[in-house]
Amino acid sequence: PTYCGAVRLTPRGEAKLRTKSVAGHPSKIREAYLRIMRIRFTELAGVVGSPQPLATTPLCGAEMASLPVIKDAYVEVVDGHISALGSMTDCPTDDAGWDVRRCSGQWMIPGFIDSHTHLVYAAPRVTEFRMRLDGASYHDIAAAGGGILNSAAAIATADESELLEALLQRLETARSTGTVAAEIKSGYGLTFESERKMLRVVRRARELQPMPLWATFLALHALPKDADHDLYVDAAIDQWLPALADEGLVDFADVFCEANYFSPSDLLRLAEAAAKRGIPLKAHVNQFQSIGGIDASVAAEARSIDHLEVLTEADLKSLSQAWAHSDGPMPVALPHCSLFLNIPYTPGRQIIDAGLPLAIASDCNPGSAPSSDLRMAWSLATHQMKLRVDEGLAALTANAAYAVGAEARMGRIQPGMDAHVILTKPMADYAELPYFTSEQRIAQTLIYGQ
């Protein structure tokens, strides 16, 4: 059974499961979801991403280029977790009590983890798409009242139940192309009540379907019209963040650190306030200019730094120094955004060749990246960023897990990890996934093995 999107809304906006009557609490949903969970996948063409010895650390530089593969393999899942795997020559022959699924010719790879999305929004921004085709830039559209402010106006009038239903549908779409977990940002609110509304929608979605979700506070996304910069930053950091954190609505804090938006000093101030509450930092940096956001993110011990379309030698040196001493911020590329805005791609080849790790995310949002298809992002990374097949897969799995602090739970296929995996259609080589740019080659996206 699947619960992803399997929700109906009553006239009062109350969400109910279509398939089972289960209390809307994550543990209860998971308990029902895992009720029949002794599954043995056999005769797999291969299992990708099962390191020996077991590992949970990010993959850096050359480590990304060749993921471990077990050919002619089996995998066992018990209670939603990988319990055993290996060659078919070692596969147990006693099938009693097991749901045995023969997967001749199919590959099992780790499911994609989307560490950067804006999946809660009220409406697409098609008018801005037309403007862009007529020559308007990202900044032109923003100056005309479009962009983030356009989405904020729509969120302000949207009903929470409508936002929830749309989010559940988007999660189902993302799952169909391999996504097994997602981070979701606020940032289209820009008022306390609207930011709270967005984060509440993420929490309700987490309760109603099995895909792991993380909620990120992104009030420092844009400045509301006619707002005073300092007063707005004061309110967002000193008032909104504590209140929303006290409600249990915030897993990460984030900031759009860019010229004419928010500064490195704003980033550091947000990081300090978030750290006091045990909330890790993420940051949008270097999408259009290098203004010191990477140095500030390193100093703040950010979990990830996302975009990086503009990367100077000094920026790369700062990142290299951070990773030389300990685990630094995960660089996250967003190739859908580069495609849609026709801007440079993150120099992923340069980052990896410098011995650094790299993750890839969708940046799915209505203005600059209206796609959650991470299989397509993998394809873009190979074609446009010059990544090898396994480098792209590592960026979507093990390294993406690190970007959301879940590297001990997912991103690899090894005993003890959650069984969040992709089963391909029968194929000779799993490289067919990024090779085919439009054909759907995923047979199933499994969350907790189902």
CATH topology of domain 38-111+412-446: Urease, subunit C; domain 1 (2.30.40)
Q: In the structure, what pLDDT confidence band is assigned to residue 314 with cuts at 50, 70 and 90?
A: very high
| Tokens 């988007």 -> residue | 170
Q: What is the pLDDT of residues 100-144, one digit of tens each?
A: 999 999 999 999 999 999 999 999 999 999 999 999 998 899 888
Q: Is the distance from CB of 41 to CB of 103 less than 8 angstroms? A: yes
- Output the pLDDT for position 113: 99
Domain 113-403 maps to which CATH number in 3.40.50.2300, 3.20.20.140, 2.40.10.220, 3.10.20.600?
3.20.20.140
Among the listed ranges 131-140, 263-272, 308-317, 378-387, which one has the minimum average pLDDT value? 131-140
Of 26-35, 184-193, 240-249, the range with the lowest mean pLDDT is 26-35
Query: 403: closest CA among 117, 171, 211, 203?
Result: 117
Would you call 74 exposed, middle or buried from its count of C-beta atoms within 10 A (0-12, 13-18, 19+)?
A: buried
- Provide the whole-model pTM: 0.92
| Other C-beta atoms lying within 10 Å of the C-beta of residue 353 | 12
> Is residue 325 very low, low, confident or very high in pLDDT (cuts 50, 70, 90)?
confident
More confident site: 31 or 142:
142
In what helix (H) or strand (E) does residue 31 lie, and over which residues does it extend? Answer: helix 26-33
Burial 84-109 (b: 16+ CB within 10 A, else e): ebbeeeebeeeeeeeeebebeebbbb
Closest CA to 306 of 364, 250, 353, 248: 364
Q: Cα–Cα distance between 157 and 383 in angstroms, integer?
A: 41
Better-scored residue on pLDDT, 308 or 35: 308
Residues with Cβ within 8 Å of 134's Cβ and at least 6 positions away in sequence, in order, are none
Contact (CB, 8 A) for 389 and 431? yes
Do the domains 38-111+412-446 and 113-403 sit in the same CATH topology, yes or no? no
Residue 116 near residue 360 (C-beta atoms within 8 A): no
Domain ranges of the chain: 38-111+412-446, 113-403
Helices 389-396 and 374-384 meet at what angle, rounded to 10? 140
Q: Reduce the DSSP state of residue 423 to 3 states and report it.
A: strand
